[in-house]
Every structure is written in structure tokens, then in C-alpha cells.
């Protein structure tokens, strides 16, 4: 280990696993990291017990110190508003429990099935529509098992695309990802593999050499859909991670969730689209909030959402305008909300 003797340990860049282990999980620690007074986030405790605070330090580094209203902070900070019970906000807002075809395998739309690859996420987003998903029922025990899901995909030759979702599929090791996609690619009718992930966003170090090797080596075309909500998330480090992802030849897209007080602003959304393009990423969907229990305070009214989509369309080329959609239980596709023009 010549490198180890030349570079003292603390100067080596941290691995993503180390960064993950050092993620912030307590409100006091978060206040401290943002130079806010002790006790600033005292009221985060209650909601944090229901769905734990969790955010990697590299994401915290993109928040504005001293600003409790920072748009990145608000995505991850538990608040008492989450504990308010709103009748329309439920555990399974998009009808996933009835879409299960095999353990961890969901199908709602023709030709595409979605595999819950893991329950783990590097970050806990307060508005997450799967925050109440019964993961434990899907994979008995710690190590996810995909045998039944793979057999079901192999049996149904109408399934052309498999989406790895979660949780965050990139919480799995590169070796596990490789063996999973090798098994999928061996099924002749699987023509595309898609990965829905926020991990490169909150933890750019996740885009390591092994991950790039895995993407390059995959024998069916891969689509990676990132989840970035605000332009402040897209700093130089993330842009460089996007460039490395792109260089493997994958298709790179982004989806956002429209969130009150965070990105419900045409300037913010327009800057996000332009920065995404600069980083080699095209905007795909802008999701109307799924009505999951605890997230009502993030909702943007449909008319306002459609007005925003109209303003965005009026200032950007069509390929930089994400489609505003809502997921409706039982519908045959995501339902488009037309921009108000």
C-alpha cells in the first residue's frame, strides 16, 4: 500500500460509505453545522421520531449557513406540521399496495415494472411518498432477495423496461447492482433498465469508479433519472458527477417534486432547468406532490402549479420544460396537468 504511506489517511478522499456513516441524524447537530443557535430545531424531535432526520454532510454544505428557511434545509428538516392529520393525506397515496405483482415488484403501467431494490436512502426527504411504505414486508430480513421478482419479470414478455427504485437503489453496493442488472439483462425481453436515484445528488462521492464501471459494462441501455428539486443542489461537485455519469453513455434525466416554499417559483424552476442542461441532464417530470401523510404543508394548488408550468414554458425551449404530472391511483400513466398559457 504505497499510497497509504505517502498520503496520511485523513487526506484521502472519503469513500461514500464513510460519508454515509457520518450523515447528520440529529437536529442539534444540523443546527450546529449551519451555525444556528442551539435549540433552533428543538421542535424537530416529534416528527423526527416518526421518520428520522438523515442528511449527508455534503448536502448540508450546500445549504446557506444561518438561514433556517434555506430551500435545501426545508426538504430534510422534520417539523411539527408533519404531525397534523389531514384527511386526504394517507399512507399509500398512489395505490402501490394493490400494484404489487411479486415481493418488491410493482406494476402500474404497460411494459414497465418497478423493483423496490432497497429501503435505504442516504437522505430522508420529508415529502417522500414512500415514507410510510411497508418495506419490511417486501424483503424478509436485511439482504434484499429478488428471486421471485426476477422470475415474474422473466415470465412476462410484455415487460420491456425494469425500473430500479426504492429507497435508493444506489444504496446497494456496486457488486450487488452488477449482479442484479446482469440477471435482468439476461432476460431477452428486457430492453431498458432505468434507475431512479437521489444518491448522486446528496452524496456525489457515490459516483465512484466501480459505479461507472458497472454502468459502462451493462449490456442493455441504461437510463438514470436523478431527483434534484432546487438549483442550489446542483453545485460544481454534482455537475462533475453528472459529467462522469454521462460519459458512460447512459441517458441522464431529472425529476423534481413541486414543493411549496422550496421551488414553487418560476425563477427557481427556470434556473434549475438551465443548470441541469449545463450539467448534461434533461428535465423529465415535475411531480405534483403525492398526498402522503405528513406532507400536506408542501402542497401547491393545481392552478398555481399549472400557472407556473405555463410561465416556465413561456421562457424556455421545450426540451427544458419538465412535464407537470400527478400520479393517480389506478390510472394507466402519470396524469399530465396542462400548463396554463
Residues that bind ligand SF4 (CB under 6 A): 121, 123-125, 128, 130, 166-168, 198, 227
- Nearest CB to ligand PLP, comparing residues 109 and 237: 109
Question: Quick one: what does residue 130 bind among ligand PLP, ligand SF4, none, with the CB cut-off 5 to 8 Å set by partner type?
Answer: ligand SF4
| H or E element at residue 185 | helix 174-185
Distance from C-alpha of 116 to C-alpha of 142, rounded to nearest angstrom: 14
- Residue 13 DSSP symbol: P
Point out which residues bind ligand PLP (CB under 6 A): 99, 106, 108-109, 112, 114, 163, 333-334
Question: Which regions of 148-250 does DSSP assign to beta strands (E)?
Answer: 161-165, 192-197, 222-227
Give the nearest distance from C-beta 298 to ligand SF4 in angstroms.
12
Give the nearest distance from C-beta 83 to ligand PLP in angstroms.
27
Distance from C-alpha of 200 to C-alpha of 240, rounded to nearest angstrom: 11
Distance from C-alpha of 257 to C-alpha of 103, rounded to nearest angstrom: 27
Q: Which residue has the cell 411549496?
A: 260
- Nearest CB to ligand PLP, comparing residues 138 and 232: 138
Question: Quick one: what does residue 112 bind among ligand SF4, ligand PLP, none, with the CB cut-off 5 to 8 Å set by partner type?
Answer: ligand PLP
Question: Quick one: what does residue 124 bind among ligand PLP, ligand SF4, none, with the CB cut-off 5 to 8 Å set by partner type?
Answer: ligand SF4
Residue 292 DSSP SS3? strand
Give the nearest distance from C-beta 314 to ligand PLP in angstroms.
25
Cβ-proximal residues to 334 (8 Å cutoff; 6+ apart), any chain: 285, 323, 325, 326, 327
Question: Quick one: what does residue 106 bind among ligand SF4, ligand PLP, none, with the CB cut-off 5 to 8 Å set by partner type?
Answer: ligand PLP
Give the nearest distance from C-beta 185 to ligand PLP in angstroms.
19
Helix-helix angle 209-217:174-185, to 10 degrees: 0
Distance from C-alpha of 311 to C-alpha of 321, rounded to nearest angstrom: 10
Give the nearest distance from C-beta 187 to ligand SF4 in angstroms.
25
Question: Quick one: what does residue 164 bind among ligand PLP, ligand SF4, none, with the CB cut-off 5 to 8 Å set by partner type?
Answer: none
Amino acid at each position: 500500500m504505497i499510497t497509504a504511506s505517502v498520503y496520511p489517511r485523513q487526506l484521502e478522499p472519503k469513500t461514500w460509505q464513510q460519508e454515509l456513516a457520518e450523515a447528520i441524524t440529529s437536529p442539534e447537530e444540523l443546527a450546529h453545522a449551519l451555525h444556528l443557535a442551539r435549540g433552533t430545531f428543538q421542535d424537530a424531535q416529534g416528527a423526527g421520531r416518526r421518520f428520522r432526520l438523515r442528511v449527508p454532510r455534503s448536502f448540508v454544505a450546500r445549504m446557506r449557513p444561518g438561514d433556517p428557511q434555506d430551500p435545501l434545509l426545508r426538504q430534510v428538516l422534520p417539523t411539527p406540521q408533519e404531525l397534523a392529520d389531514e384527511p386526504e393525506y394517507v399512507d399509500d397515496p398512489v395505490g402501490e399496495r394493490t400494484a404489487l405483482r411479486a415481493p418488491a415488484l410493482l406494476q402500474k403501467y404497460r411494459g414497465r415494472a418497478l423493483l423496490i431494490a432497497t429501503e435505504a436512502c442516504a437522505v430522508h426527504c420529508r415529502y417522500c411518498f414512500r415514507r410510510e411504505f411497508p418495506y419490511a414486508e417486501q424483503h424478509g430480513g436485511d439482504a434484499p432477495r429478488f428471486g421471485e421478482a426476477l422470475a415474474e419479470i422473466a415470465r412476462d414478455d410484455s415487460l420491456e423496461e425494469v425500473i430500479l427504485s426504492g429507497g435508493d437503489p444506489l444504496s446497494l453496493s456496486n457488486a450487488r447492482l452488477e449482479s442484479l442488472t446482469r440477471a435482468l439483462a439476461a432476460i431477452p425481453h428486457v430492453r431498458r433498465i432505468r434507475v431512479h436515484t437521489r444518491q448522486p445528488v446528496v452524496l456525489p462521492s457515490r459516483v465512484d469508479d466501480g459505479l461507472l464501471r458497472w454502468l459502462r459494462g451493462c449490456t442493455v441501455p441504461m437510463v438514470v433519472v436523478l431527483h434534484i428539486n432546487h438549483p442550489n443542489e446542483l453545485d460544481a461537485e454534482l455537475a462533475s458527477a453528472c459529467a462522469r455519469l454521462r460519459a458512460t453513455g447512459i441517458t441522464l434525466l431529472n425529476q423534481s417534486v413541486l414543493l411549496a416554499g422550496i421551488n414553487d417559483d418560476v425563477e427557481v424552476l427556470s434556473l434549475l432547468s438551465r443548470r441541469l442542461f449545463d450539467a448534461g441532464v434533461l428535465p423529465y417530470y415535475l411531480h405534483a406532490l403525492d398526498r402522503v401523510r405528513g406532507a400536506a404543508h408542501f402542497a401547491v394548488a393545481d392552478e398555481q402549479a399549472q400557472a407556473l408550468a405555463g410561465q416556465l414554458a413561456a421562457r424556455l425551449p421545450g426540451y427544458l420544460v419538465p412535464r407537470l404530472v400527478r400520479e393517480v391511483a389506478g390510472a394507466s400513466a402519470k396524469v399530465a396537468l396542462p400548463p396554463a398559457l
